[in-house]
Amino acid sequence: METTNVKAYGAESATTPLKQLTIARREVLPTDVEIDILFCGVCHSDLHTAKNDWGFTQYNAVPGHEIVGRVTSVGSQVTKFKVGDLAAVGCLVDSCRTCASCKDELEQYCLTGFTGTYGGADKHLGGHTFGGYSEKIVVTEHFVLKVPENLDPAAVAPLLCAGITTWSPLKHWNVGPGSKVGVVGLGGLGHMAIKLAKGLGAEVTLFSRTPGKTDDAKALGADNVVISTDEAQMKAVSGYFDVIIDTVPYVHDVNPYVATLAISGTVVLVGYLGPLDPMLQTVPMIMGRKSVAASLIGGIAETQQMLDFCGEHNIVSEIEVINMQDINEAYERMLKSDVRYRFVIDMASLKA
Ligand code: NAP
Ligand code: ZN
């Protein structure tokens, strides 16, 4: 298959900084859309991948799954997009499209395994897929999203992962007017969870370790802020929440959040991948029919619904625009929870 070389930024190993690389993009197939990438958000998953935190990174790794750009070419069978359209790509670029999950528009739970935007098995070129820290991407039309015209395209980029990852559980657990929602951690996912839960009409409380984020949380729409390290503040919200979206990226004690659930409430883990330590205590769960659940991004149709909702409600991410060359410093700041609240790479800096 014919390919084009494009500039990208990626990691050659877990211990070396990201640097400029060259990667191949496939020729545009009949069902493909080629996108000139304008902006790419920086997700904590990018950092986990670059550093091999999850143990399955394949190098060279080119992260980036919050992609917004301009369509530069479409295949002969493409119907949804034309050259010049603004388009977006999130965490998925392919799936089997035939299994029960895919038929149910839950491509993220494809029973044969979805193709991740980066680090997935590339069905066309072999090897693994490369993400949005690059000049261009070629994606099959089904996995390309339409971007509402009224929103700032740079601030839309984080909706493609941080947005949908928090939207999907909010919708699945029926959050709406009257719901009491807790959000743990005010980073990329957390700030979108606050905005989207508020947009859905819920009352929202942020749990944070960082007292300095209180004013920001309220400006983002949070009704209350609980400092999670303060026992008295935690006790004050005991038995209160219907749904808690926990975005913390590293191992932490989930039991204190279970204590803040109302009867039949659910803590949804979306951040940390791995065994819980300390372990979950089942007694408080049994005594209150409480659940600890988890959730992965969202399907393509659901992602489009979220984008359209954001267009209608003028919801975007709070961003700090960076150059591609600043990515290693951005990762350092992300490790210190010093992101307000999503870095977005201006991809013109890579093309210059
Ligand atoms: P982020 O911007 O770095 O935000 C994480 C926040 O969690 C921080 O701002 C901090 O908030 C809190 N935090 C960080 N370290 C902590 C620790 N050791 N203990 C307690 N709290 C801590 O990260 P993100 O991009 O939102 O991503 C969050 C996690 O979700 C990552 O692990 C990422 O891989 C994962 N993720 C999952 C999915 C999915 O589909 N399930 C999708 C995307 C990302 P405070 O300062 O307020 O405490
Ligand atoms: Zn992500």
What is the DSSP secondary-structure string of 93-155?
EE--SSSHHHHTT-GGG-TT--EETTTSB-TTTSSB---SSBSEEEEEGGG-EEPPTTS-HHH
pLDDT at 244: 99
pLDDT in tens, 226-241: 999 999 999 999 999 9
Q: Of ligand 1's atoms, which has the minimum distance to the CA of residue 207?
A: 47
Q: Which helix (H) or strand (E) holds 329?
A: helix 327-335
Confidence bin at 129 (pLDDT 50/70/90): very high
Confidence bin at 255 (pLDDT 50/70/90): very high
pLDDT in tens, 152-162: 999 999 999 99
pLDDT at 311: 98
Using only the alpha carbons of the chain, give its radius of gyration: 20
pLDDT in tens, 138-187: 999 999 999 999 999 999 999 999 999 999 999 999 999 999 999 999 99
Give me the domains of the chain, ranges plus CATH numbers.
3-161+317-351 (3.90.180.10), 163-294 (3.40.50.720)
Residue 39 backbone dihedrals phi, psi, to 5 degrees: -140, 145
HEC profile for 240-276?
Answer: CEEEEEECCCCCCCCHHHHCCEEEEEEEEECCCCCCC
Please, what is the angle between helix 162-172 and helix 188-199, to 10°? Answer: 50
Residue nearest atom 46 in ligand 1 by C-alpha distance: 210
Any atom of ligand 1 within 6 Å of the Cβ of 189:
yes
Structure tokens at 128: 């693994």
pLDDT in tens, 15-65: 999 999 999 999 999 999 999 999 999 999 999 999 999 999 999 999 999
Any atom of ligand 1 within 6 Å of the Cβ of 247:
yes
Residue 352 has pLDDT above 90, yes or no: no
Q: Of ligand 1's atoms, which has the minimum distance to the CA of residue 47?
A: 34
Asked if residue 89 lies in contact with residue 160, where contact means CB atoms within 8 angstroms, the answer is yes
Confidence bin at 301 (pLDDT 50/70/90): very high
Confidence bin at 254 (pLDDT 50/70/90): very high
Q: What is the pTM of this model?
A: 0.98
pLDDT at 158: 98
Residue 306 has pLDDT above 90, yes or no: yes
pLDDT at 256: 98
Query: Measuring CA to CA, how many Å separate 310 from each of 151, 163, 168, 303?
Result: 8, 9, 14, 11
Distance CA 262, CA 332 (A): 37
pLDDT at 285: 98
Residue 9 has pLDDT above 90, yes or no: yes
pLDDT in tens, 72-89: 999 999 999 999 999 999
Residue 262 has pLDDT above 90, yes or no: yes
Peptide bond into 118 cis (omega under 30): no
Q: Of ligand 1's atoms, which has the minimum distance to the CA of residue 42?
A: 25
| Mean pLDDT score of the chain | 98
Amino acid residing at 96: C
pLDDT at 39: 98
Residue to mutate (ligand 1; options 45, 172, 215, 296; most atoms within 8 A of CB):
45
